Structure 1
Amino acid sequence: MNREKKMTTEPMRRLVLFGGTPPLLHAAIHAQKHGIEVRVVSEEMHLEEDVNQGRSLRCCLDGEGVGYQDVEELDPEILRPWVDGRTVGLSIHPVWIFRREVIDLFGGRLFNFHAARLPLDRGAGAYSWRILMGERRGGISIHVLDEGIDTGDLVMQKCIDFPQSCRIPEDYFRIDIPLRNQLVAEFIDAMISGDPLERRAQDYTQSTYWPRLNTPLQGFIDWRWSSEEIERFVCAFDSPYAGASTYRRGKVVHLRGGERLNGSFHPFQAGLVFRITNRRLYVATRDGVLIINDVVDEGGLPMTDKMRLGDRFYTPQSQLDDALSVRPVYTATGVKAGY
């Protein structure tokens, strides 16, 4: 049984936010409206990311008058002037692993937001992994930040049962983002009031961990999979991502809008386009049919109208081996292919 205890804090007067994404912007605006001093610590990748209808995080923070620092590494000396006994730190999808010196600086008042139902789905890429697994129950959590990966005591959590209509990550985000914003606002309100928070230890025996995903490096279809496995894979890398990858006539293409039908084909027919109706491609798999609505090239240009009957989608074994062996590493300057 998980232990529970009360966590009491002095009312917050200053908030340091780490990372990026729309919930961080929402947190900054919500706290600032309540008279809290806000400072954002971020990096180039997150600052240039679209967080509000084509506007970057940097642009939005400037527009709201929220101060921020663009750093490659977390240096305790940069943070020290901002941290006292009434400062709270909240990490939201950061690229950094927090070192002990930074954690200690906040004296137990450093927290992490995680878009999953901890202790399940520690790590990253939660919704893509859950689409691959066919799992529709998710959640969002805020926990005390420690040196582990999403391992600290939980202080707030919401569970979410996603409807059958959710098929691609964008569908999940449409439901999930307002709930993320709500939970972040509730956390900030609790920190402002100084109300005690329940701390609940995570049960390690129930935990799962999934590493970060990167669509260009890992999103390659193995046409030996079943129709269901391919459909889930295509959905997992669909919007807002570039789409699952494969080859057509020697060039990489991205597929979106996968839908599965029953059928019976030989494995050698897998990947062949056998019917085109209303710009929808009917593709054979070893145990059925995959309908593809959208094909684009590596530059994002439409390819669906260029497809012909008898075209074959395929993925070289070397590309599949690379997709399985690579481990993307996200840094302040971008993505690196670690192995």
Structure 2
Amino acid sequence: MRDLRILFMGTPEFATTILDHVINEDYNVVGVVTAPDKPAGRGRKIHESHVKGYAVKKGLKVLQPTNLKSEEFSEQLNELDPNVIIVVAFRMLPKQVWQYPEYGTFNLHASLLPQYRGAAPIHWAIINGETTTGVSTFFIDEKIDTGEMILQKETTITPDETVGDLHDKLMNLGCSTVTETLKLISEDTVTTTPQPQNITLKTAYKLNNDNTRVDWSLPVNEVYNKIRGLNPFPVAYTILYQDNEELRMKLYKVRMRQEEHSKSPGTINIEDSTLKIAAKDGFILVEELQLPGKRKMAIKDLLNGFSFKEDSYVV
């Protein structure tokens, strides 16, 4: 049995949950690498990563390098001398780092690789209407998410599941997958599988202002998938045109109704305290949204102080 000295690299809550599970399974974590503190929010207060907050409470050694190729970080790596590195939701590593540990550096990715390589695999699985997804562990190599796979676990995506729901499901699935991977490494029984080649791949592109905007000319099921695939973060949006104003409207909780109609995409009206928006072959029924300067609200509460005009529309 190998005596593992683990260096953990990660930043968000997803990574924190994995780290907590590793520690609770009595593995030896010699240090944690996470993102540097940075100002955030309106007050520009210094914000630390979720992983750092947890690691400090646990008394773990925390490193926050701005340059992973620096001599300073190289010295810190030598001092900790890990023989395995776990990477969960962190940035790309230089070769000199991922090659350092004797037993390798492995990553937990929230998709069934090789599908959905990239920054936002959980979101795009829902946006693209997938019914199954999962998690994968693999040894890191020179490219992004292309290394030889160690373990994969699959789960279903239900028709009404949001990215928040699926995030938590995959986070919990990832816990057991990571510790099972560590067990294989400690027992020296890892068998890897090269990722399939020459197949059509779907990519988990980084989310931005362009690809989080709703296109109402699409089939209603695609619009529905996009909204739930961005709820509760970073949130799908549309532009409301009303009284010669353009208002950025964020869409949270919605339902879908498929039916033939002759309305133009983006046409809106109020039906039973629900905002009804036309898409191709159906309607999106908005139950929770956010307008500029307001908090996220149920539509029935918003309507107590805000009126949608008859000629208003969204694009």
Decide: shared fold, TM above 0.5. yes
Which structure ranks higher in relative contact order (CA pairs < 8 Å, sequence separation ≥ 6)?
1
Distance in 2 of aligned mates of 1:301 and 1:27? 32
Q: TM-score, normalised by structure 2?
A: 0.82
One of 114, 120, 123 as aligned partner of 2:118 = 123
Q: CA offset at residue 139 of structure 1?
A: 1.1
| Match of residue 10, structure 2, among 12, 19, 25 | 19
TM-score by length of 1: 0.77
Q: How far did residue 130 of structure 1 move?
A: 1.6
Could you tell me which amino acid in structure 2 is paired with residue 263 of structure 1? E
Alignment of 1:288-299 (within 5 A): 288-298=282-292
Q: CA deviation at 1:300?
A: 5.6
User: Which residue of the partner structure matches residue 45 of structure 2?
Assistant: none
What residue ranges of structure 1 are gaps of 5+ in the alignment? Answer: 1-9, 49-54, 316-339
| CA distance 1:69–1:20, shift in 2 (3 Å) | same
1:255 matched to 2:251? The reply is yes
Residue 35 of structure 1, CA deviation: 5.4
CA RMSD of aligned residues (A): 2.9
Query: Offset at 1:124?
Result: 2.5
Is the contact made by 1:15 and 1:39 (CA closer than 8 Å) also made in structure 2? yes
Is 1:228 paired with 2:259?
Answer: no
Matches of 2:209 and 2:37 in 1, distance apart?
Answer: 16
- Write the letter of the residue equivalent to 2:308: R
Post-superposition offset of 1:180: 1.1
| Counterpart in the other structure of 1:156 | 151
Instruction: State the distance in 1 between where 2:19 and 2:130 align.
Output: 32
**Inter-partner Cα distance in structure 1 for 2:140 and 2:38:** 20
**Bigger mean CA deviation after superposition, 105-114 or 204-213:** 204-213
CA distance in 2, matches of 1:194, 1:252: 54
- Give the secondary-structure state (helix, strand or coil) at the position aligned to 2:251: strand
Distance 1:76 1:136, change over 3 A: farther
| Structure 1 equivalent of residue 261 of structure 2 | 265
Say which is worse superposed, 98-107 or 228-237, in terms of deviation. 98-107
2:36 counterpart of 1:36: no
Q: How far is 1:112 from its partner? A: 1.1
Q: How big is each residue's C-alpha offset from its partner over 1:236-282, in whole Å with a ceiling of 9 and x where there is no partner?
A: 11114333333343121101222221333335x3222223313x111
Q: Establish whether residue 147 from structure 1 lines up as the match of residue 139 from structure 2.
A: no
- CA 1:156–1:263 in structure 2 vs 1: closer, same or farther (change >3 Å)? closer
After TM superposition, the structure 1 stretch with the greater mean CA deviation from structure 2, 291-300 or 194-203, is 291-300
Q: For the Cα contact (< 8 Å) 1:122–1:207, is it kept in 2?
A: no
Query: Gaps spanning 5+ residues in structure 2: where?
Result: 41-48
> What pairs up with 1:63-212 in 2 under 5 angstroms?
63-75=57-69, 77=71, 78-79=73-74, 80-82=77-79, 84=81, 87-95=83-91, 97-107=92-102, 109-166=104-161, 168-191=162-185, 193-206=186-199, 208-212=201-205
The Cα shift of 1:142 comes to: 0.6
Helix, strand or coil for the counterpart of 1:218? coil
Q: Which amino acid aligns with 1:259?
A: R
> Does the 8 Å contact 1:23/1:184 carry over to 2?
no
Distance in 1 (CA, whole Å) between partners of 2:64 and 2:14 is 18
When you count helix as a share of all residues, which structure comes out higher?
1
Is 1:285 the equivalent of 2:276? no
Q: How many residues align?
A: 295
Separation in 1, partners of 2:267, 2:184: 57
Structure-to-structure mapping, 1:41-52, within 5 angstroms: 41-44=33-36
1:210 to 1:82, Cα distance in 2 relative to 1, 3 A: farther
